Amino acid sequence: MKLRKIEIIGFKSFREKVVVEIGDGMTCIVGPNGCGKSNVVDAIKWAMGDASAKSLRGNSMQDVIFAGSENHKALGMAEVTLTFENDLNARAEALAGQQDDDPNALGESIPREFRDLAEIAITRRLFRSGESEYLINKVGCRLMDIQDLLAGTGVGKQGYSIIEQGQIGFIVNARPSQRRLIIEEASGITRYKGQRDRAERRLEQTEQNLARTRDVLEEINKQMKNLERQARRAEEHRTLSAELKVLEISALLERRAQLFGLRSSTQKGLDEQRRLYEQRKVSLARREAGSSAARIEAHVTEQRHTEATQNFYKLDTRLNLARSNRNHGVRSVTDARERLESLQRERVGQQRRVQSLDSELAGVREELAGLLGTPEESDVDVAQAQASIGSLRDTLVSKQRLLDEQRARCAQARARQERIDDRRAWIAAQLGELEARQASAREQVDGAREELEDARRAVSRHAIDLERLNADVAAFQIRADVHTKALAEARMALQAGEAAANQASAARHKQQARVESLDAMRRRGEGYAEGVQKVLRWAEQQGRADILGPAGSFLEVPEGWEAAAAAYLGERIGDIIVTSRQAAFDALNMLAAQRLGRIACFVLGDDRTTPGEVVGAWLQGLELVESLGDVPAKGDGKIEAWATARGDIVFANGRVVGGFVGEKAEGLLRQARQLEDLRRELVQAVVLDEELRESLELLREDATIVSGRLDQTRSALAAVQHDCRAAAHEHEAQERQQIRVQTHLERVCAEDVAIVPLREGLAAELVALGDAREALGAEMPGLQVMLEGLGAEVGALQAQIEQRNLQLTDTKVRQAQVRERRRSLEQSQERLDQSLRGARHQIERFEREAGQQAERLAHFEKVAVEAEAEARTLGESFELASVQIKAAKVALDATLLELQQIELGLSGNRREIEAVGARVQELEIESRESALGLDHVDEQLLERFGLSALEAKPLVADLVLAVASRPGRINYLRARIEAMGAVNALAIEEFDETRARKLFLEEQHLDLERAVDDLRKAIARMDRESKKRFEETFAAVNAKFQEVFPRLFRGGRARLTLTDPDDPLNTGVDIEVQPPGKTLQNVTLLSGGEKALTAVSLIFSIFLLKPTPFSILDEVDAPLDEANVGRFAEMVREMSATSQMIVITHNRRTMEAPRMLYGVTMEEPGVSKVVSVRLSDVDDRLAS
């Protein structure tokens, strides 16, 4: 795997993307101190998985990201890509002859999935948020995958392919165990060590799983017998429950049949009452028909009464109207008489006014006659004055016209002078402005050219930034996809964890419910005598803590020996354990007072002993035997009795008791043991539940962390996308700026060219305007003299016209006064004529209106007489109508009384119908209740048993038990089931599940044992292979070291030794050297240059023995003198024939050796750039 290309973006001082191509042979990287040469080595190490910030010369891993400079802001990501050429096929041909001797000679160092690829690209990214990514050929991977890819090639983290500054001294001064790592890398056993560590961790985990499996199997074996007994009880309980179900179904069906018969009899009575109800309704209908005829007659009578009432009210209205008309006629006669008298008075007043107006009109006419003829005499004088003034005005107009013409000529001359002066000033200003514009245009041309160049550079720079940001967006998108996938996996794991936790919690609550149920049964004393139960309930009600419970609840009897213990103890199982004698007395007194039965109490003698210890001591005189045949003929005095598991007992005094013990006492002891077992299981369930809850919390934290990383990545992606859009907009703006600057430059150049002819034309025009200005200056004095003479003549004519106008005005004023007085008298005459005509017209109107009022007076008097006669006639008709309405009221009252009697009879019939209807409703309710009872029975069948009536009947068809005996049997079954106590209904399923789990765990146990054996064999095999390879490689490196050392030192000898030859897997490697002319000594006693040359000898020995694809030597030649540098360079040039040698140096002799030379510089502070020179091409050009 040869290194072909290094791509660096944002790593340390490399802000922009840098590509370093590595060819075959020797490549040299040079540059001044601090320019970033060693950052190239750090980038290669970092990309290959170095996770130590200290080895990368930083305090934290974020220090490898470009931190910014004076002109550039910090970046948010660092990325390095190493592209390798996979030369497996070429090496296959070269090593074809070695396959028989060394099966691992070809391609062992490369994982199988990468062997067919022509190129392998390793990429590492680090974001400032702390998130990191590894990729192989742009596909996400783990750090372990990269380490496996590089392991055994000499290129890994512990390899010998990268020798940094100071590492030469470290190789010499390192501990033997640290120096061993170089030999291991050369031998290719680095991968084996990693695989061995992982195998050991898997072996440890497998052994732990195996131990847990054994523990679980032991626990399951303990549970199997108990679950088997519980399953038998559950089966019995199921059988009794099935019989009880059939009997209860038969009881419900019997009840259903009874309800069905009741509903049938109720339906018959309901039909009879409905027929009676219909008959009553028919009878009521006939009576209602008779009532309808009476209602019609009453209606007719009522209508007659209504008509009489209406006629009465009409006559009353007409009478009132006639009386009102009569009164109105009288008032109208009075009003007409008053108006007639008023008109006569007004006519007399108008006649007097006419006389006054006639006298005033005569005086006005007399004065008007005296003013006739005066104004006409003045009209002749006015006409003569006006004619004289008109002649003067004509002369003035002609003179004024000449004066205006002369003034116009002078004004035109002055205006032309001013225009010429203005034009000359404007042209002078334009010439100055054009000169300034031309100078400014030339400056703008120079500035625009510089601005255009800046715009072009800015466009290029923004294009590069945009390309980089687009790459960042793609990288962040890939990273977001990776985090999204990780979040989905974390959520799936969280869902699985929640399911497991919920399952464990359900099992815990189920176990806890069973414990609480059995504990409650123990506290209530279920299964014990009635007196024991009464005392326990009484003690619980009274809060008596000194009454502990029955003795059977404190016994712990081995499984299967409950019958033996119950037979031996007998009734003592039911003894109530108390802490004091007074407590026993109180319990006995309570039973005696309530006549509830008898009990036995046992008083604890010592407060320090527990009830379990005391009750357990009762069984110390009992020995358990398999059969009665095992009972010894004579006891030793300590044993009081021997008992079998069935409950047969042989006492030491010769008494033998046996037979069926009974399930009651045995069940009590079994229940006590089950309670203790369940409590232990509950503790285990609680522990498991808590462990799963803790695991669930960890999974939730992992999901939260992954979600947070995804949010951070998305935020970073959004920020980079925002920066990308901003960069695109900036790029477009710079392109527009470049176009604008180009256009501005073209426009300014064109303007500079156009200014030259404008300046020449304006200069010529300025000369011509000067000549015209001089000609106008000579013409202006003559024009001014003529203008002054015409002005004097016009002034004299204006004075004469003014004098004549004053005289004419006086004449016109006098004439106007006379005419105004005459006009006023004429208006007065006309006004008086109009007033006189109006007064005479009023007199005529008054005379006409007086005649009309006389006619109205006569009409109103006639109307008043007619209204009086009509009122007398209507009064007589009104009296007759009053008598008729009283007669109609009497007839109506009689008819309504008859109708009321008929309605009373109908009310009796309606009450009878209501009584029958009420009975119908009662029967309907009974029928509905029967139907509801049937529905209730059907619902009980459906809810309790999931059956309909038709489905239930076949289940009880084969029931042979008599109906009368079924209730007793039901009560017996219920009591039997209740006497069985709490039964684990899931015991059968639990037993089957436990048995299946046991089989599964046994298979898992066998698989784990085989896995442990396989792992141990694999570890032993890797140890053998590692030992073999290390020994072979050590011997080969030692031999090569003994050859290279004398060559570099020009004499002397050296060798490698093992610190512990008996333990090749853990031994260290030491160096013994003897430079020329010196004695054999340890390497630590050498000088600095000798140590460096010794380390170089060791490294070159390994290179020559097992060359790495590429090697990096970072200023390794710094401690060497001139002669040793020459030998160092010669040796490197020889090794470059088989490996790529990348050398960082300041030494000129070393720079002469490579084929490719890269220079690292800092054109601007804090930002590194790379330039390259192919020396082989230079040599060829120089040779040609």
Res 669: pLDDT:
67
DSSP 21-89: E--SSEEEEE--TTSSHHHHHHHHHHHTT---TTTTTSSSGGGGB----SSSPPPSEEEEEEEEE--HH
Residue pair 1158/1145 in contact (Cβ under 8 Å)? The answer is: no
What integer best gives the mean pLDDT of the chain?
A: 77
pTM for the full predicted model: 0.38
Pick from 518-527, 888-897, 988-997, 1149-1158: least confident: 518-527
Q: Is the pLDDT of residue 382 over 70?
A: no
Rounded distance between C-alpha atoms, residue 1071 and residue 1094, angstroms? 9
Strand partners, 69: none
Distance, CA of 855 to CA of 336 (rounded, Å):
9
Residue range 610-665, pLDDT digits in tens = 777 777 777 777 778 777 777 787 766 678 788 887 777 887 777 888 776 655 56
Which domains are seen in the chain, by residue range? 1-159+1133-1156 (3.40.50.300)
The predicted structure's pLDDT at residue 513: 65
Angle subtended at Cα 890 by Cα 886 and Cα 893, rounded to the nearest 5 degrees: 135
pLDDT bracket for residue 104 (50, 70, 90): very low
Does residue 122 sit in helix, strand or coil? strand
Question: How does residue 106 score in pLDDT terms, banded at 50, 70 and 90?
Answer: very low
For residues 1021 and 870, which has the higher predicted lDDT (pLDDT)?
Answer: 1021
Which range among 558-567, 876-885, 938-947 has the greatest average pLDDT?
Answer: 938-947
CA distance 266 to 803: 145
Within 8 A by CB and 6+ apart from 81, the residues are: 5, 6, 7, 47, 121, 122, 123
> How many CB atoms are closer than 10 A to CB 75?
20
Half-sphere exposure of 157 (CA within 13 A, CB side): 16
123: pLDDT strictly greater than 90: yes
Encoded tokens for 1175 = 């020396």
Segment 741-774, tens digit of pLDDT = 787 777 777 777 777 777 777 777 777 777 777 7
Q: How far is CA 881 from the centre of its chain?
A: 95
Tokens 């059907």 belong to which residue?
938
Tokens found for residue 809: 């005005």
Per-range mean pLDDT, top range of 426-435, 721-730, 1095-1104 = 1095-1104
Q: Quick one: pLDDT at residue 375? A: 52
Say if residues 1075 and 187 touch (Cβ distance below 8 Å): no
Token couple for 529: 């005598």
Q: Which range is least confidently modeled, 763-777, 799-813, 1011-1025?
A: 799-813
pLDDT classification of 1181: cutoffs 50, 70, 90 = low
Calculate the CA dihedral of residues 889, 894, 898, 899 and round it to 10 degrees: 0
For residues 885-897, average pLDDT: 76
**Dist CA 892 CA 567 (whole Å):** 109
For position 1183, what pLDDT does the model report?
53
Radius of gyration of the chain (CA): 68
Give the CA angle between residues 756, 759, 765 to the nearest 5°.
145
Share of the chain above pLDDT 70, in %: 87
Amino acid (one-letter) located at 389 = I
- Reported as a pLDDT band with limits 50, 70 and 90, residue 825 is low
**CB neighbours of 125 closer than 8 A, spacing ≥ 6?**
77, 78, 79, 132, 133, 135, 475, 479
**Confidence band (pLDDT; 50, 70, 90) for 125?**
very high
Note the pLDDT of residue 11: 92
Distance CA 49, CA 45 (A): 7
Task: Please determine, for residue 39, whether its predicted confidence score (pLDDT) is greater than 80.
Answer: yes
Contact 347, 843 (CB under 8 A): yes
Residue 642 pairs in a beta bridge with 623, 650
Instruction: Report whether 475 contacts 125 (CB < 8 A).
Output: yes
Distances (CA, A) of 193 to 114, 141, 162, 938: 21, 21, 21, 77
Interval 853-870 mean pLDDT: 74
In which band, very low, low, confident or very high, does the pLDDT at 818 lie, cut at 50, 70 and 90? Answer: low
Extended beta strands in 583-685, E state: 601-603, 622-624, 641-643, 649-651, 656-657
Q: Is the pLDDT of residue 922 over 50?
A: yes
Distance CA 1028, CA 102 (A): 13
| Residue 809 in this model has a pLDDT that exceeds 80 | no
Model confidence band, residue 6 (pLDDT cutoffs 50, 70, 90): very high
